[in-house]
């Protein structure tokens, strides 16, 4: 069973919630983004000059595919305002015990019947090469209703405590994933949970938590907005395709609904997997993210 908390207009990570996160490796806050805020986020996809012009497609096993958008910096559009909002950033700083910076952001778009799987992995399994400590966090925000049928995230509760697991290329997948022998050994010790979520529910996830998602074989779309943060004291020691430390200019939570920028994405520095050799080395197939 997943323990969670519901956002009712006032939210902060209490010591009890911090202890829960440290124990489980994740924390789900229901309705942290309300219906109006989620509607705001969708507008950057509805505009002719919206964010989809920066999307690209990856081919996955079994003739599946996944649409993605990825960038280094939050920017000033609605997605950037959400990533810089006090309720998101302050929660990350409480959970990581210190200042954080925006490591990168992404949209993971699994369309009906065609969305591919994400193998078992830890985010730090990919980020380890450039970051000395696992002082990193992923914020996974549901844009659609996510269920077992349309490829919700699956988590191994408490698996972050096992430390970083070796990640190796799979035989039957384009993706690099956690050593499956070790994953299977952990399953009897770490409850296997399904993170079913409603639009606006937000998952704060430790970078060493094992997670996966199945192909989307349903008739339901499953799109998600993901913001990743690194602790400022853990600034990447090797420059790479994600961001080094830049202080976050926090905004009030009300700025999400007040924002009217749906098309100006200047400063985000989008990933171009065709032109950037390092991105081709890391994404895809190295970095997958559920």
How do the pLDDT tens digits run along the chain, 290 residues long?
788 888 877 789 999 999 999 999 999 999 999 999 999 999 999 988 999 999 999 888 788 999 999 999 999 999 999 999 999 999 999 999 999 999 999 999 999 999 999 999 999 999 999 999 999 999 999 999 999 999 999 999 999 999 999 998 765 556 789 999 999 999 999 999 999 999 999 999 999 999 999 999 999 999 999 999 999 999 999 999 999 999 999 999 999 999 999 999 999 999 987 654 444 444 444 454 55
**Distances 76 to 25, 82, 248 between C-alpha atoms, Å:** 30, 9, 12
Tokens of 248: 């976050």
Note the pLDDT of residue 275.
Answer: 53
- Domain extents for the chain? 12-282
pLDDT at 174: 62
Q: Would you list the DSSP string of 94-119?
A: HHHTS-EEEEEEEEEEE-TTTBPPEE
E-state strands within the chain: 4-6, 26-30, 56-60, 64-71, 100-110, 118-121, 136-142, 153-156, 167-169, 176-178, 192-195, 202-206, 211-213, 222-231
* DSSP label at residue 159: G
Please, are residues 50 and 262 in contact by the beta-carbon 8 Å criterion?
A: yes
pLDDT of residue 280: 40
Query: What is the CATH topology of the domain spanning 12-282?
Result: Jelly Rolls (2.60.120)
Q: What is the DSSP string of 217-268?
A: -SSS-EEEEEEEEEEGGG--SS--SS--------B-TTHHHH---SS--TT-
Residues written for the chain: 290
CA 252 to chain centre: 22
**Which pTM was predicted?**
0.93
With the C-alpha atoms ordered 13, 17, 18, 21, is the resulting torsion angle positive or negative?
Answer: negative
- Looking at residue 9, its pLDDT comes to 78
At 277 the pLDDT is: 40
Report the pLDDT value the prediction gives residue 168, as an integer from 0 to 100. Answer: 84
Query: CA–CA separation, 289 vs 140, rounded Å?
Result: 10
Q: Is the peptide bond before 22 cis (omega within 30 degrees of 0)?
A: no
DSSP 51: G
């Amino acid at each position: 069973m997943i323990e969670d908390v519901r956002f009712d207009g006032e939210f902060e990570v209490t010591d009890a919630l911090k202890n829960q996160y440290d124990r489980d490796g994740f924390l789900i806050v229901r309705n942290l983004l309300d219906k109006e805020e989620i509607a705001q986020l969708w507008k950057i996809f509805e505009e002719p000059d919206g964010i989809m012009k920066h999307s690209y497609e990856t081919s996955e096993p079994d003739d599946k595919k996944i649409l993605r958008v990825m960038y280094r910096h939050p920017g000033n559009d609605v997605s950037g305002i959400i990533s810089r909002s006090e309720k998101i950033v302050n929660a990350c700083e409480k959970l990581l015990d210190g200042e954080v910076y925006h490591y990168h952001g992404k949209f993971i778009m699994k369309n009906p019947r065609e969305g591919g799987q994400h193998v078992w992995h830890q985010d730090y399994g990919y980020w380890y090469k450039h970051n000395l400590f696992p002082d990193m966090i992923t914020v996974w925000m549901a844009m659609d209703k996510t269920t077992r049928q349309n490829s919700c995230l699956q988590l191994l509760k408490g698996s972050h405590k096992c430390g970083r697991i070796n990640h190796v290329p799979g035989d039957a997948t384009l993706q690099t994933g956690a050593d499956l022998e070790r994953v299977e050994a952990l399953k009897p010790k770490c409850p296997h949970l399904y993170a079913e979520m409603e639009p606006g529910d937000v998952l704060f996830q430790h970078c060493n938590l094992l997670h996966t998602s199945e192909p989307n074989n349903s008739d339901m779309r499953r799109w998600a907005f993901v913001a990743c943060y690194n602790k400022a004291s853990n600034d990447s020691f090797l420059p790479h395709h994600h961001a080094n430390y830049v202080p976050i200019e926090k905004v009030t939570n009300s700025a999400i609904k007040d924002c009217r920028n749906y098309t100006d994405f200047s400063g985000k520095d989008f990933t171009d997997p065709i032109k950037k050799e390092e991105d081709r080395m890391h994404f895809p197939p190295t970095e997958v993210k559920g």
